[in-house]
Amino acid sequence: MAQIYERRKGDYEQMAKHLTKEKNYTGEILIQQYNRMLKLGLMDVHAQKLYVLTLRIEFLERFDRTPILFEDNINLD
């Protein structure tokens, strides 16, 4: 399912808050969070898109790969 992400004012700050939390997650919890989002499905809610983007960033930093694709301003799961 593809989702279009449109940047809004305040996105950077919101993502920074998410990343602060995710830095404290163990690798296992991070994966559980991703699986939870996958189970819920993307509902075209802006806040959810920001959270998925921050999960992507944290996966890349920790594991050098991510199950979340980001392509031309579209999130693909």
Tens of pLDDT along 14-25? 999 999 999 999
Confidence of residue 77 (pLDDT cuts 50, 70, 90): very low
Q: Please report, for the chain, the start and end positions of each structural domain, with discontinuous segments joined by +.
A: 6-76
In this predicted structure, the answer to whether residue 28 has a pLDDT above a threshold of 90 is yes
The pLDDT assigned to 70 comes to: 73
- The rounded distance, in Å, linking the Cα atoms of 35 and 48 is 14
- pTM for the model: 0.80
Task: Check whether 76 has a pLDDT greater than 70.
Answer: no
Are the beta carbons of 15 and 50 closer than 8 angstroms?
A: yes
DSSP H helical ranges for the chain = 11-23, 27-40, 46-63
**Helix, strand or coil for residue 76?**
strand
Of 27, 25, 22, give the one whose Cα is nearest residue 54: 22
> pLDDT tens, 30-41?
999 999 988 888
